[in-house]
Amino acid sequence: MTTWIDPQMQVLLERLRAGPAFDFRSAPIAEARATVDAATLPWSDGAPAIPASDLVIPTDAGAMRARLYRPEGAQAASVIVYAHGGGWTFGSIETHDGTMRNLAVAAGCAVLGVDYRLAPEHPFPAPLDDLLASVAFVERGGLGTPIPAERIAIAGDSAGANLALAALLRRRDEGLPPLSAAALFYGCYEPDFSTASHAAFGGGDYLLTSANMRWYWNNFLGDEPDETLSLAAPGRAALAGLPPLYLSAAGLDPLRDDTIRLAQRLGEAGVPFRFDHVPGVVHGCLRMSRELAAAADMITAGGRHIANHLNDKKTGGSQPWNAGLSSN
């Protein structure tokens, strides 16, 4: 049976396959990060030129870098906190700069991207703790004025989607006010390699491999077993009581079935959600939106989902944002 590939995706795949191979799993972690991240930076070229400011978020583990994007005409006192992908091992606010700019424009509100600590040096729960600290920072007024949870959304891609879902669950379990909404792009929600999508797409023809995904999970889990019921694998948690979610799955992604399973369980739990299965595209495609219309549409759908739910809330006024943030 022939697998359909989006024609624009096919062009990109051929270009990427023609590039030099690099076995990042066998390289020293610093070299691996420098090489992998450098290869992804050009995807942000041509992204919307909206104002962006770098800042530092204090956490129990120390200072954490972050970047605030605020497009012209953005909703007053509304923020999306964004967790980047990269297998909990790679990625930064630089590698996902274009994605966050596009999401800010699509949602019509500010996006705060955070540089959470990376595995394997900092396995679970360190990245989740950092993301939760970022949300609390926004609530407490770290951006210039306190912003209530109903004016905050959360989003992430791949490993970042895992962290975003886990953050919603942790807040629910701790009795904290629910956030307004979330957008989860092709996430990895539990270390299950027995799925049909791993069998069909994990061999190496579509960029992300099952072998690399096992390595990422090993980095992230640390001392946690694969069978963990902790929030390292949020797809296994009870899901009732979550805010409205946008889910997307890439059709050629070994992780496709993670999202399909999550959508099924959300429906059983009575959680409102939208699920877009995007055929013919690969894991990680969000950063390719400049050349891949399907990826641009995915960002637009996630941004509009969040905007619709933020617009259902009270605006909370139009307090000024911190003018002391340094601009890029």
Which residues are catalytic, by number? 158, 253, 283
User: CB of 152 within 8 A of CB of 81?
Assistant: yes
**Contact criterion met (CB below 8 Å) for 117 and 127:** yes
Angle CA 199–203–207, to nearest 5: 120
CA 25 to chain centroid = 22
**Rounded to whole angstroms, how far apart are CA atoms 186 and 284?**
8
Going by their DSSP bridges, the two strands 52-59 and 326-327 should be labelled as: antiparallel
d(CA 251, CA 115): 28
CA dist., res. 14 & res. 8, Å (int): 10
Number of neighbours of residue 278 by Cβ within 10 angstroms: 23
Which pair of structure tokens corresponds to residue 212?
């690399």
Q: CA 212, CA 109: separation in Å to the nearest integer?
A: 35
Fill in the amino acid letter for 26.
S
Return d(Cα 236, Cα 230) in angstroms, integer.
8
Interatomic CA distance for residues 32 and 40, integer angstroms: 13
> How far apart, in whole angstroms, are the C-alpha atoms of residue 36 and residue 2?
31
Cβ–Cβ under 8 Å, residues 86 and 312 = no
Q: Three-state DSSP class for 170?
A: helix
φ/ψ of residue 48, rounded to 5: -55, 135
